[in-house]
Structures are given as C-alpha cells and as structure tokens.
Structure 1
Amino acid sequence: MISGITNRLLQAQQASVPPNHADNEAEKAGREAENELEKLLLTKACLPSRDVFRRLRVPDNFQTQRHEIDLVVVTGDGIYCIEVKNIGGQITLCVDDKFWERRRINGKVTTSVSQFPNPVHGIRNKAHILRNHLGRAGICLREKNFFPLVVLMNNKCQIDDLIENDHYVITQKRLPEFLNSFRRPFSTVILDSVTPSFLSAKLSYSQLDQSRNALNQIGTWDIVELHGGRLLTGDFKGCAELNCERSDVEKLVFNHQRNTAMTSLWAVAGWAPTVNVTLYKRDGSGWFGHTVVANVVLPYNKDIGFQIAGESMVSKIPANDIRLIALSK
C-alpha cells in the first residue's frame, strides 16, 4: 500500500512539474519573419487574405514527397512562390553557385562560417513543382506566370553584389518597391477586367478562381505547442483515444492539473494524474464560444504520436508535455 502511494506521489510530481521545452531561437526567428512578410503583404501591398497562402506542402509528380513553400501569392499577373529567409551576418555566393556562405563577425574577428544550399535554386524548383501540381488539377498556366523569389527579412545582413543583383532575390532595400508592385491603380483594374486574358497575358478570372481552390486543397503542417513554448511542425498521428477526423476538428487543447498540492492530495486518495483533452470543432467559433466536439481523458503519461517535419520516425510525446495541437485541413 505504501509503495502504491509513493508511486502515485511521484507521478503527481511529474504531472505538476513537466519538462520545460524552450522554443528554438532560429525556428522562432524564421516564423516571425514569415509572419512579418505576410502582414506586410496584407497591409502595405493591400492583398486580400484569400490570395495569400502560408506554408503549403506541395506534392511532387510521384506523390512521394512534399515540398514546403513559405508563402504563395495569387495575383492577376501570376503566382508568386516566396522563400522567406531571416539570416544575419555577411552573406556571399559561393563560386559554384550552389551554396551561400554566411560569416558571423564580432568586431574584426570571424566567429563562425557556414554554408547552406542556395535558396534561389530551391524556390525555383518548388515553383516548378507547384506548376506541375496545378497542371495535374487541370489548371495549365505558363511558366512565365510563376515568380519564384527569395525575400531576405533581416535588415542586419550584409549581402555581396552577386546576391544583391539577383532578380530572384528581394533585399530589405528592394522590399518597399516589391510591396508597392502589387498595388494597382483603379484605372488599371478596370482595364484588366475588360481585356481578354490572351491579350493582356494575365490570368483570367476563371484561372484565378481555379488556382485559389486548388491551393486551398493543399495541406499545411500540423502544429504541437509544448509546455515552455516550443512549437513543433509535422503530421499528427495521435493515439487510439484521439482518433478524430480533421475535417471536423480544428484543435485539441490539453488541460492539466499543475498544482502540486492538489495532485498530491488526489494521489493519496488513490487517483493517478490525468489530462483532459478538449476537441474543438473546425470553424466552430460563434457568439457563445467555440463549439466542442468531445472531451477525452488520458493518463498523464500517454504517448501521442507526432511525426516532426524532416524526421523519418514518429515521435512519441507524453500528453503531459503538450499544451495544444492545431490540425491543418
């Protein structure tokens, strides 16, 4: 009996004081840069939200791999595929054009040197994959209607002339001009509406609607928020108790008992710690709050399957470590 109480008290301690998962600073900076550019596109460029898509995972020709595009923008001119980079230091193009090199310098001392694949090549390939994907959906657009771009959001980076002059790269200096390029005078809007697309070389209303519908069907990442603020992106695999249809469920909120005294009291009374998971209906917000689909009670140490982006194995995350899970459509 004493050993049982001791075990439950240890479980209560673990449940009330979970590990603190701090967010990855580089990943956080990248998300903030994407958020900032998306906001600028909606406010400064005056683009409607229906024409801006975030973190689409586009399947390749054989449907064996998905390629993430940070931002996709649909306009009458065509489809912009944007890779957002928030990198600091001195950035130079390597001799073979396949890599960029970053040097971090403190005063006159180089503190680190690293290389990473040239993002221009990456986003051009992703734009080609997106064009093929739309083609398979019956939306045949010309190659010149796709605009692959790399946008550098860090105003503290120093860029060499080869990168600065690359028309596929939008630097901080060129960013205001880039945002203004989306704005159209009213006279131009009227002229475009009465000019046939084969004469204007712009996308027709039908092509725009079809493109938006097809892009809305492309999946994005699921997101897990851990205790401590860290965000993981990937694919939610769940567990037997949380077998839900993502078309019905938008997010899962994990409710914990973090009061050590209370959990210890329950442990002495014979109860093991649990987690209450609330499943919220997709698009279920209303005057009286968010519609609840179901409530599920799990053991605090129940493993939740989640395949982190870029990982081949499915991770098992204890329910006690999770704050919420947001499901993509």
Structure 2
Amino acid sequence: MHQPLAKLSTEPSTQPLTKPSTEPVTQPSTEPSTQMSTLVPTHLSTEPSVQSSTQSPAHLANGFNDLLGKIRNIGLKSEDVFCNLRIPNQFQSGKDEISLVILTGRGVFCIDVKDWRGEVTQQKEKWHVKLGEEDASVRQFADPVQAIKAKATNLRSHLQRGAVSLDPAHFIPRVLLLSPDCLLSSQLQTRKEVVTHAHLNAFLRSFSEDFMTWAMDAFLPCWMSGHLSYRQLWDAREVLSRTGTWDQVRLLDGRQLQGDYRGCQHLAVLRQETEELEFTGPGILASLPLWETLGYTPLVAVTMYRRGVRSLFFRPTSGTASIPQCSHVVFRIEGEEADGRIPVDHIHSISLSV
C-alpha cells in the first residue's frame, strides 16, 4: 500500500544494489548476463561511485527528504503527495517511476527529481552533464522533460483505467533540479518544465492556496473555475493510494534493498492481502553441524502480516510458514536486468507494495 510522503532510503542500491553469498566474489564480466545472480551484501557500499556522482543515492535521498520537509511546511496535505509511484507504461509491458505526484485544484503535478551537479547542456535528444572542470567527464541522459511528459500521459491512462477521467491539460509535468551546483545552459533555462534550485521556493509557494481560491473551488463548478472538483480529487486520490511503489528487503545487518519481490519456492504469498513478511531464524544452537549429522534441517519461521490492518498492541497475520534455512528469495533489484537470490537467513523482513 502506498504511503504518502514516504522518505527515500539513504541506503545505496536503490538504483544500484547488492548480492549475499558465501562464495568468493569473482571479477564481474562486462557482458550483460541473463542468469540469475546471488545477492552479495558486501557489494552494498555506502560510498557513491565516481560514475554515479551526478545523482548518488545518498545525495538524492538527503535532498529529497529536505524537499518533503518544505512541502509539509507549505501546508499540502500528506494524502495529496505521493512518492516514487510506479506507473504502467503505454503498452503496460513495464513500469516507470515518478518521483513525486502532487494533487492540487490546479491539476496533477508529475515531478521527476534530479540531483545533478555540473554543467548541463542539450544536444539533440540527449542532455549532457559535465561532472567538473578537473574530471571533465560527461554523462549523457535521455531528455528528462520528454520522459516526464510521457510519464504524465501514462499516469492519465492509469487513472482512466481506475474510472477517473481528467483532461490532459490538468497534468503538469516538471523536472526539479535540487542542487545549486547544477548549471543549465541558456537554452535549457527557457524550458518552463524545468525548475532549478534558484526557483525552488517560488515553485513550492505556488502550491499555497488563499481563501478566495478555496472559496471559488468550493462553490464554482469545475468547468467554470478550470480547477479539479473535490470529487475528481477524491477519486484520483483513491486510485493513486492503490498504486504500487517498490518492494523493500531489510537485511539483518540493517541494510535495505529496493526492487521487486519475485517469490520463494516454499512460500505462497497473496500480495493483495499481505503487507510484510517477517523472517525469524532457527537460532545458533539449531545451526550447529551436530544437528545436520542427525538429519535435522534448520528452519526459518516466516510470519505474514495482513495488509492495511494495524493496532497499537496487535498486528493481525494472514499466515505463517516454516521453510528450510537454505531457501532463497528471488528479488529483482531496482536497476538490475536479472533476478537475484537472497538467502532467507540474511533477511529480517520484506515489505510488499500493492
């Protein structure tokens, strides 16, 4: 279930992430692999690589969390702000992530957040980010403005499938550049879809509504005011709250992986009913070699917690299971092209999106 204003994890491997195994780590091949990999925790570095320094997970997460704090301060309702929604693409063959979706009377703001640092120019359909004077290396990105426009169109189609029909003019795409060290070329500075750090506060203040705007929206029909009606906002909010984000695996050492849970051969999980899987190991004594020689197989207990039901003292479950300690969970890390396997005795819990 989507949780509004959920903070981005500062752990690496949101786009880059890990791999647990007891086998020695071999030198990775430069050729893409379609084979299932084993996730190794030692690959979870807290230091961003040189190549990804334009938008490292830690930098982006810190800047994103600061942005969410500013959004709270301007008075936007938390239920109208959605983070990291994954929207089916045009052919519903995959999903694209939108950093922020904000519902307002003026429309649905679709915002992609970037933490690029350096000089940014455009050449044809690519944006070039020069990392620095000393490094002088340049990274190429697909045009983020065209990308967020496409995502806004896909979001409109997604809402239509949920019986919420909104005019295309009510979808407002924006690319938000958080870093003050991002220097745009004069050509890009004229793009109305791009919001730089210098204009961030003014952009956020535009979401504040005065009393007269509130009164007009309350009493004027939407076809006269040009704003979304309360009913349209309510219906859109309902559909977006059921829209998935990423699944998260929390490892026993405290690190987190973000991606798609693919399953486990020993578990039958109903995603619509299950919000979280909690893993409890067999303990040290049960893992001793003596038990293995006696034919005993150590087991890991899995508790499945029911979605959407919480209380202060009790959390209802949708099921329990005991699986062999040698079992693996199949998980596709965000940004990876192949599924990986995580030993269940490395896992503390798995949170499932809708």
Same fold by TM (over 0.5)?
yes
Range with greater deviation from structure 2 (132-141 or 188-197): 132-141
Match of 1:131 among 156, 162, 172: 156
Structure 1 runs not aligned, ≥5 long? 1-13
Over 3 Å counting, the alpha-carbon distance change for 1:186 and 1:213 in structure 2 is same
Match of 2:76 among 14, 39, 47: 47
Contact 1:44 1:179 in 2 (8 A): no
Once the two structures are superposed, what CA deviation does each residue of 1:88-131 show, in whole Å capped at 9, x if it has no partner?
A: 2x1322231x22222222xx523532111121111011111112
Over 3 Å counting, the alpha-carbon distance change for 1:229 and 1:157 in structure 2 is farther
Range with greater deviation from structure 2 (72-81 or 303-312): 303-312
Contact 2:217 2:229 in 1 (8 A): no
For 1:72 and 1:173, the matched residues in 2 are separated by: 21
Q: Matched residue pairs, number?
A: 308
Q: Which protein is bigger by CA-based radius of gyration? A: 1
Counterpart in the other structure of 1:56: 85
Shift of 1:327: 0.3
Shift of 1:262: 7.9
2:244 maps to 1:219: yes
Range with greater deviation from structure 2 (134-143 or 166-175): 134-143
Question: Aligned partner of 1:36: which letter?
Answer: D
Once the two structures are superposed, what CA deviation does each residue of 1:236-261 show, in whole Å capped at 9, x if it has no partner?
A: 122233212222221112234676x8
2:301 maps to 1:276: yes
Q: What TM-score results when the alignment is normalised by the length of structure 1?
A: 0.82
- Higher helix residue share: 1
Contact 2:89 2:96 in 1 (8 A): yes
Task: Using the aligned pairs only, state the percent identity.
Answer: 33
Counterpart in the other structure of 2:123: 95
Counterpart in the other structure of 2:224: 199
Shift of 1:312: 4.9
Once the two structures are superposed, what CA deviation does each residue of 1:280-320 show, in whole Å capped at 9, x if it has no partner?
A: 22233212143344443332321112233454543222112
**SS at 2:119's partner residue?**
strand
Taking only aligned residues, the RMSD between alpha carbons, in angstroms, comes to 2.8
Match of 2:182 among 157, 166, 169: 157
Q: What TM-score results when the alignment is normalised by the length of structure 2?
A: 0.77
Match of 2:60 among 9, 15, 30: 30
Structure 2 runs not aligned, ≥5 long? 1-21, 23-39, 49-55
Question: Aligned partner of 2:120: which letter?
Answer: T
Contact 2:122 2:188 in 1 (8 A): no
- Higher strand residue share: 1
Shift of 1:150: 0.8
Over 3 Å counting, the alpha-carbon distance change for 1:301 and 1:185 in structure 2 is same
Over 3 Å counting, the alpha-carbon distance change for 1:289 and 1:159 in structure 2 is farther
Shift of 1:66: 1.8
Over 3 Å counting, the alpha-carbon distance change for 1:287 and 1:229 in structure 2 is closer
Shift of 1:171: 1.4
2:94 maps to 1:65: yes
